[in-house]
């Protein structure tokens, strides 16, 4: 280990993001980015911030954004927390709520960053198996624990848990925080924000990166009762008072205000997803029913790693995970209609020889 590092640093296992290579004409279906540009109103709002005002620190509370989110979701401004991407919001939530004497629960197949935060903050985790259909089974989350984190829709399966089943998990753990990461919820699942009033232990986290096409802006948020938000604010103000700059705040507010654009783009991604799912099934892929902006698929005769490599050689990137539960699957982000048509054509050529 490097002699300059704190002892803790040598024990970390950092998250490895999907690659962002510079290949000409690349079709990039590996990191679940939105294939469409952000709303033109976002670009205008960001551009308007690029001036003398940047001398000054931004509002440390991001009040304009909390206000916009609170009216959009029908909650109080004191029930909203914002951060530099939902990754930062999740990290603060792990720090604020999950450093407990008992391990937290998470699904065996889930967003792999959760385990990275556990190492970072010294949190123990128990991995809870999915059922035979790769679904989260709420009954397996009834045991004593230090907290629960699930993604809904789950990543990378894309499967959504109905709201009643999320509520069963929340109800089974009244003394622990249940964190529901809804990064993909806008593509077809039901948000648990409507349950926040009833459950003091529920924290819902969302992001502008996927459905609002703003992965490059870095804005995420959490909604929960004020006592949970206060816990997050305490961690945030012990770490970085200004996680969002003026540009981020203005861009995110404009994104929330352009509801029409949001609805059109989201419907487009869902329509393309369903079309691609049909094409892949015709190529004999098993396609899990997705409520997200990606498909999780496998083929009975072709190894996922081989398909990913063959696609890569034709300048199409998809994601393959090496962990044993899911190594037979590929995760394919939904692109434009043209990108998905090209993917389907290339896969047909590979599979039909």
Ligand X SMILES: *Cc1c(COP(=O)(O)O)cnc(C)c1O
Q: Which is nearer to ligand X, 69 or 155 (CB)?
A: 155
For residue 34, the SS3 value is coil
Separation of alpha carbons 176 and 145, rounded Å = 8
Those residues with Cβ within 8 angstroms of residue 254's Cβ, 6 or more apart along the chain or in another chain:
39, 41, 42, 44, 45, 46
Binding to ligand X, residues 214-233 (CB under 6 A): 215, 220
Question: Nearest distance from residue 273's CB to ligand X, in Å?
Answer: 15
> Residue 81, interface with ligand X (CB under 6 A)?
no
Question: Nearest distance from residue 210's CB to ligand X, in Å?
Answer: 6
Instruction: Give the DSSP letter string of 64-120.
Output: HHHHHHHHHHT--GGGEEEESHHHHHHHHHHHHH--SSS-EEEESSS-THHHHHHHH
Binding mask 126-165 for ligand X (x = CB under 6 A): -------------------------x---x----------
Q: Among 27, 34, 87, 178, which residue sits at the site for ligand X (rule: CB under 6 A)?
A: 87
Question: Nearest distance from residue 93's CB to ligand X, in Å?
Answer: 11
* Residue that has been written with the tokens 């909203």 in this structure: 80
For residue 169, the SS3 value is helix
Binding mask 17-46 for ligand X (x = CB under 6 A): ---------------x--------------
Question: Nearest distance from residue 214's CB to ligand X, in Å?
Answer: 9
Q: Among 46, 149, 177, 183, which residue sits at the site for ligand X (rule: CB under 6 A)?
A: 183
> Residue 209, interface with ligand X (CB under 6 A)?
yes
Per residue in 213-249, is it b (16+ CB within 10 Å) or e — as a string?
Answer: bbbebbbbbbbbbeebbebbbebbeeeeeebbbbbbb
Q: Which is nearer to ligand X, 65 or 347 (CB)?
A: 65
Separation of alpha carbons 187 and 158, rounded Å = 10
Question: Nearest distance from residue 247's CB to ligand X, in Å?
Answer: 16
Separation of alpha carbons 6 and 348, rounded Å = 51
Q: Which is nearer to ligand X, 19 or 306 (CB)?
A: 19
**How many helices (H) and strands (E) would you count in the chain?**
10, 12
CA atoms lying within 13 Å on the CB side of residue 236: 24
Q: Which is nearer to ligand X, 87 or 186 (CB)?
A: 87
DSSP 224: E
Q: Residue 151 has which token pair?
A: 């993604």
Number of residues that bind ligand X (CB under 6 A): 13
Question: Nearest distance from residue 221's CB to ligand X, in Å?
Answer: 9
**Residue 343: Cβ-neighbour burial (10 angstroms; 0-12, 13-18, 19+):** buried
Question: Nearest distance from residue 213's CB to ligand X, in Å?
Answer: 11
> Residue 85, interface with ligand X (CB under 6 A)?
yes
> Residue 188, interface with ligand X (CB under 6 A)?
no
Binding mask 93-122 for ligand X (x = CB under 6 A): ------------------x-----------
Residues that bind ligand X (CB under 6 A): 32, 85-87, 111, 151, 155, 181, 183, 207, 209, 215, 220
């Amino acid at each position: 280990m490097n002699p300059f590092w704190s002892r803790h640093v040598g024990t970390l296992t950092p998250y490895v993001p999907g690659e962002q290579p510079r290949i000409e004409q690349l079709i990039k279906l590996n990191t679940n980015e939105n294939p469409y540009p952000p709303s033109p109103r976002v670009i205008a709002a960001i551009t308007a911030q690029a001036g003398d005002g940047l001398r000054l620190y931004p509002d440390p509370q991001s009040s304009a954004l909390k206000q916009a989110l609170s009216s959009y979701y029908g909650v109080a401004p004191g029930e909203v927390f914002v951060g530099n991407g939902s990754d930062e919001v999740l990290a603060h939530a792990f720090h604020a709520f999950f450093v407990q004497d008992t391990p937290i629960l998470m699904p065996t197949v889930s967003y792999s960053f959760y385990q990275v935060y556990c190492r970072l903050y010294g949190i123990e985790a128990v991995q809870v198996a999915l059922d035979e259909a790769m679904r989260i089974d709420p009954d397996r989350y009834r045991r004593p624990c230090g907290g629960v984190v699930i993604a809904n829709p789950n990543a990378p399966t894309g499967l959504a848990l109905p709201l009643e089943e999320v509520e069963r998990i929340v109800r089974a753990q009244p003394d622990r925080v249940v964190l529901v990461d809804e990064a993909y919820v806008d593509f077809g699942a039901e948000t648990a924000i409507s349950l926040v009033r009833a459950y003091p232990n529920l924290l819902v986290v969302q992001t502008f990166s996927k459905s609002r096409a703003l992965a490059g802006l870095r804005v995420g948020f959490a909604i929960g009762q004020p006592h949970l938000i206060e816990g997050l604010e305490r961690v945030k103000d012990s770490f970085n008072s200004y996680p969002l700059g003026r540009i981020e705040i203005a861009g995110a507010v404009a994104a929330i205000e352009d509801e029409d654009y949001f609805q059109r783009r989201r419907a487009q991604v869902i329509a393309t997803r369903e079309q691609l799912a049909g094409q892949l099934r015709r190529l004999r892929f098993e396609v899990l029913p997705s409520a997200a902006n990606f498909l999780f698929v496998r083929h009975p005769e072709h190894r996922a790693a081989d398909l990913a490599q063959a696609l890569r050689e034709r300048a199409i990137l998809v994601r393959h995970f090496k962990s044993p539960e899911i190594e037979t699957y590929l995760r394919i982000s939904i692109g434009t209609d043209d990108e998905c048509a090209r993917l389907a054509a290339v896969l047909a050529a590979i599979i039909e020889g």
